[in-house]
């Protein structure tokens, strides 16, 4: 364990509680929810504590924040309102890799409890197949385990904000590592002050979800609560919100100041000597280089931080341009039941004007704009900007070569990118058969930018389709919320005996039997809804709920949960309940109403 004497001799100033309080208030305000635009209100904030000097300095300052009155006179009213009800809970992760780690974790917990911060020790349990010492990518694997543990612990504690202790020196090392890896532009922005928690994809209540569960539902009769609303085709699914955010209020402070803070606050810490081995990781090597060698002026810490700041400023300007272009996208429809969007993108001359008199690349902002819209439909967790370069050239050729826009609409054909099928909706010719890609608009009203229909790319025959198995259980209860196909959060209550349920795609061979399971009025309505909302191959990307008994090899389709149809003749209403929500999407700046805001979950009768 490090002791107070370890920090003696430091000439750096300690971080005052007022400095930290202002930084914390600013960072939390920056990280407000992008969905509803309201500032988050915290009761308890999580702390990720390793026991090292960085996180122990963070803990010491947070302990002081809990005794805020002595800094109130020097803080602004908004900052006081944001922090005055705050308390903290520390999470200490024991990786269980080196001898004595359990004792260290418990010692750190005792130190923090003594300073008024509630603490919990989280242990990584390695499987037999995962022997940490034998893993060549140990840092990557440990990081994933660590954040998933932290995310679950925050969720279980009702915490939606987690503070990390990254500091100025970490920022320098990160930018240097990215420079060595050949990154440019946004890669040199460095560590963000706020972001969604990483490595937690698919964890409900942790990854971009769970906010709806914190809003009290209206008191409605149980039977009505689970009854599908079949009287309207316009009822949309709720859109998820929430998720745990991470914040880094220490990025403006150097490592030396964190050490001085621990000295000033008489805070002990543990030293992890592996952090000083320059042969172990690239980060350690860079740290050793700065500590032990003369550095060229262009690579000094002030120079790297200045580069990082310029990159951040440039990114802010670019984001402002992208926001302005997204606001000019005409969203005709956004159907959460089918996961489809119809959109007309801005004309090329608008993109040129938005980027005029600046160093911003028009092709890059077009790609950023396109990515924002694709995420409304795509099942992918990430869409790399580089993967959209060819798409931008195809959709906006006028950005790169003059004289092509006039031929553009006639030449465009459907294509896929980021697991999204994009279909240009061409003018309908009188007498032509109605299809999904036809547009009932007079040809004279067509723009040089066509209206595009975006839907989930049809599943490939070579691709394993998504599946969510729900076996029967003795105690009938809801399954955990599960992210199905990256688009829908679904949970199911299997009320049957001996029947296994499955959420899987709706296949062409399912159509006849499912139609015949509907009573006559519902059959007609079902056909109308499919034609209007899920024509062509789009319908084969819809999730279906099927059942299979132990003595049968054939699936029986019970329901199409997102559309709200279930088979009356298969007695689906007595076998199963379901709830479906659409994934969290960024609607900032789009001229559409969030359909899920005014509607209830799509649910089956119980």
pLDDT at 35: 28
Joined together, the tokens standing for residue 228 give: 């599908």
Q: Show which of 408, 433, 456 is a domain's final residue.
A: 456
Say if residue 348 is in the same domain as residue 282. Answer: no
pLDDT at 463: 84
Say if residue 578 is in the same domain as residue 448. Answer: no
Strand arrangement of the beta sheet that strand 87-94 belongs to: 118-123, 87-94, 44-49, 161-163, 245-247, 194-196
Distance CA 301, CA 290 (A): 9
Distance CA 471, CA 506 (A): 19
Domain membership of residue 229 (yes or no) is no
Say if residue 452 is in the same domain as residue 472. Answer: no
Instruction: Examine the pLDDT at 182 and tell me if it is beyond 90.
Output: no
Say if residue 127 is in the same domain as residue 17. Answer: yes
Say if residue 271 is in the same domain as residue 369. Answer: no
More confident site: 139 or 319: 319
Mean pLDDT of all residues in 514-540: 94
- E strands in 211-314: 245-247
Q: What is the DSSP string of 504-533?
A: EEPPGGGHHHHHHHS-HHHHHHHHHHHHHH
pLDDT at 447: 58
pLDDT at 441: 52
Residue 13 has phi, psi (to 5 degrees) of -80, 145
pLDDT at 437: 55
Distance CA 575, CA 554 (A): 17
Residue 488 has phi, psi (to 5 degrees) of -125, 130
- Antiparallel, parallel or unpaired: β 488-494 and 468-470: unpaired
pLDDT at 282: 80
Nearest Cα residue to 148 out of 215, 197, 87: 197
Say if residue 433 is in the same domain as residue 479. Answer: no
pLDDT-wise least confident of 211-215, 240-244, 476-480, 522-526: 211-215
Residue that is written with structure tokens 């007079």 in the block: 442
Say if residue 488 is in the same domain as residue 452. Answer: no
More confident site: 284 or 518: 518
Helix, strand, coil shares of the chain, percent, nearest 5, are 40, 20, 40
Q: Show which of 251, 273, 293 is a domain's final residue.
A: 293
Max avg pLDDT among 92-101, 329-338, 434-443: 329-338
- For the chain, the average pLDDT equals 84
Q: Are 108 and 51 in contact (CB under 8 A)?
A: yes
- E strands in 235-317: 245-247
Q: Show which of 456, 483, 513 is a domain's final residue.
A: 456
Say if residue 283 is in the same domain as residue 348. Answer: no
Joined together, the tokens standing for residue 541 give: 């990307």
Instruction: Examine the pLDDT at 10 and tell me if it is beyond 70.
Output: no
* Number of domains the chain contains: 3
Domain containing 195: what range?
A: 4-216+239-293
Distance CA 59, CA 63 (A): 6
Distance CA 286, CA 283 (A): 5
pLDDT in tens, 327-363: 999 999 999 999 999 999 999 999 999 988 778 899 9
Joined together, the tokens standing for residue 175 give: 């930018």
Task: Give the CATH number, domain containing residue 193.
Answer: 3.40.50.620
272 falls in which pLDDT band (50, 70, 90)?
A: confident
Which residues on neighbouring strands pair with residue 426, listed in sequence order?
438
More confident site: 334 or 41: 334
Say if residue 276 is in the same domain as residue 385. Answer: no
Q: What angle do CA 544, 545, 549 make, to 5 degrees?
A: 135
Distance CA 268, CA 153 (A): 25
Q: What angle do CA 39, 43, 49 make, to 5 degrees?
A: 105
Domain membership of residue 262 (yes or no) is yes
pTM over 0.85: yes
Mean pLDDT of all residues in 392-417: 77
Which residues on neighbouring strands pair with residue 455, listed in sequence order?
421
Other Cβ atoms within 10 Å of 446 Cβ, number: 16
491 falls in which pLDDT band (50, 70, 90)?
A: very high
Instruction: Examine the pLDDT at 211 and tell me if it is beyond 80.
Output: yes
How far the first Cα of the chain sits from its last, in Å, is: 58
331-336, Cβ contacts within 8 angstroms, sequence gap of 24 or more: 331/590, 331/591, 331/592, 332/451, 334/376, 334/592, 334/595, 335/236, 335/533, 336/236, 336/237, 336/239, 336/562, 336/582, 336/595, 336/596
298 falls in which pLDDT band (50, 70, 90)?
A: confident
pLDDT in tens, 54-81: 999 999 999 998 876 655 556 666 666 6
Distance CA 387, CA 112 (A): 46
Joined together, the tokens standing for residue 354 give: 């938005």
Instruction: Examine the pLDDT at 257 and tell me if it is beyond 70.
Output: yes
Q: Is 170 helix (H, G, I), strand (E, B) or coil?
A: helix
Which residues on neighbouring strands pair with residue 545, listed in sequence order?
503, 559
pLDDT-wise least confident of 31-35, 81-85, 328-332, 493-497: 31-35
Say if residue 140 is in the same domain as residue 269. Answer: yes
Domain membership of residue 228 (yes or no) is no
Mean pLDDT of all residues in 197-214: 94
pLDDT-wise least confident of 94-108, 225-239, 493-507: 225-239
Say if residue 412 is in the same domain as residue 285. Answer: no
Domain membership of residue 300 (yes or no) is no
Q: What percent of the chain has pLDDT over 90?
A: 58
Which residues on neighbouring strands pair with residue 501, listed in sequence order?
470, 547
More confident site: 551 or 105: 105
pLDDT at 226: 35
Domain membership of residue 208 (yes or no) is yes
- Residue 149: enclosing H or E segment and its boundaries? helix 138-156
pLDDT at 335: 96
Which residues on neighbouring strands pair with residue 421, listed in sequence order?
416, 455
Say if residue 83 is in the same domain as residue 163. Answer: yes
pLDDT at 429: 56
User: How many residues are given for the chain?
Assistant: 606
pLDDT in tens, 543-585: 999 998 767 778 899 999 999 999 877 778 788 999 999 999 9
Joined together, the tokens standing for residue 203 give: 């964890």
pLDDT at 223: 32
146 falls in which pLDDT band (50, 70, 90)?
A: very high
pLDDT at 136: 82
Instruction: Examine the pLDDT at 2 and tell me if it is beyond 80.
Output: no
Which residues on neighbouring strands pair with residue 500, listed in sequence order?
548
pLDDT at 222: 38
Domain membership of residue 298 (yes or no) is no
Domain membership of residue 302 (yes or no) is no
Instruction: Examine the pLDDT at 210 and tell me if it is beyond 70.
Output: yes
Distance CA 204, CA 491 (A): 11
Domain membership of residue 301 (yes or no) is no
């Amino acid at each position: 364990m490090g002791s107070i004497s370890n920090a003696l001799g430091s000439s750096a100033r300690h971080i005052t509680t007022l400095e930290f309080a202002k930084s914390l208030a600013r960072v939390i305000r920056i990280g407000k929810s992008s969905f509803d635009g309201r500032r988050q209100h915290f009761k308890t904030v999580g702390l990720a504590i390793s026991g090292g000097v960085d996180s122990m300095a963070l803990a010491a300052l947070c302990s002081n924040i809990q005794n805020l009155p002595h800094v109130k006179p020097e803080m602004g009213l908004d900052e006081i309102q944001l922090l005055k009800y705050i308390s903290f809970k520390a999470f200490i992760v024991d990786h269980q890799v080196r001898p004595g780690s359990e004792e260290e974790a418990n010692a750190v917990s005792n130190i923090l409890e003594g300073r008024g911060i509630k603490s919990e020790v989280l242990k990584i349990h390695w499987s037999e197949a995962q022997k940490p010492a034998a893993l060549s990518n140990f840092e990557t694997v440990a990081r994933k385990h660590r954040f998933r543990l932290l995310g679950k612990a925050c969720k279980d504690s009702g915490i939606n904000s987690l503070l990390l202790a990254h500091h100025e020196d970490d920022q320098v090392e990160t930018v240097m590592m990215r420079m060595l890896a050949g990154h440019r532009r946004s890669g040199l922005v460095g560590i963000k002050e706020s972001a969604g928690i990483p490595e937690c994809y698919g964890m409900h209540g942790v990854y971009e979800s769970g906010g709806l569960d914190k809003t009290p539902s209206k008191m409605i009769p149980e039977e009505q609560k689970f009854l599908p609303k079949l009287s309207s085709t316009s009822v949309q699914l709720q859109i998820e919100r929430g998720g745990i955010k991470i914040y880094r209020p220490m990025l403006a402070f150097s490592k030396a100041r964190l050490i001085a803070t621990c000295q000033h606050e008489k805070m002990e810490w543990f030293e992890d000597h592996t952090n000083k081995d320059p042969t172990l990781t690239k980060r350690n090597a860079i740290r050793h280089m700065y500590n032990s060698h003369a550095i060229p002026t262009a690579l000094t810490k002030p120079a790297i931080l200045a580069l990082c700041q310029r990159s951040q400023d440039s990114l802010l300007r670019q984001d402002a341009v992208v926001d302005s272009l997204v606001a000019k996208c005409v969203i005709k429809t956004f159907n959460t039941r089918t996961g489809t969007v119809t959109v007309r993108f801005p004309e090329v001359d608008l993109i040129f004007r938005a980027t005029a008199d600046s160093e911003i690349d028009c092709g890059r902002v077009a790609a950023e704009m396109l990515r924002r819209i694709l995420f409304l439909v795509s099942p992918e967790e990430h869409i790399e900007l580089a993967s959209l370069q060819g798409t931008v050239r195809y959709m906006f050729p006028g950005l790169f070569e003059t004289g092509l826009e006039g031929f553009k609409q006639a030449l465009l054909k459907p294509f896929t990118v980021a697991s999204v099928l994009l279909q240009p909706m061409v003018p309908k010719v009188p007498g032509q058969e109605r299809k999904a890609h036809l547009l009932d608009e007079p040809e004279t009203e067509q723009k040089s930018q066509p209206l595009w229909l975006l839907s989930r790319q049809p599943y490939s025959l070579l691709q394993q389709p998504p599946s969510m198995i729900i076996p029967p259980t003795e105690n009938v209860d809801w399954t955990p919320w599960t992210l199905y196909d990256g688009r829908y959060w679904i949970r199911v209550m299997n009320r049957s005996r001996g029947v296994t349920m499955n959420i899987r795609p709706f296949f062409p061979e399912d159509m006849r039997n499912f139609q015949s399971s509907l009573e006559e009025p519902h059959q007609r309505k079902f056909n109308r809804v499919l034609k209007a909302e899920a024509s062509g191959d789009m319908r084969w990307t819809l999730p279906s709920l099927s059942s299979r008994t132990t003595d049968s090899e054939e699936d029986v389709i019970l329901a199409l949960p997102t559309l709200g149809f279930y088979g009356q003749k298969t007695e689906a209403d007595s076998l199963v309940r379901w709830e479906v929500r659409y994934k969290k999407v960024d609607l900032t700046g789009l001229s559409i109403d969030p359909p899920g805001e005014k509607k209830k979950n799509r649910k089956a009768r119980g």
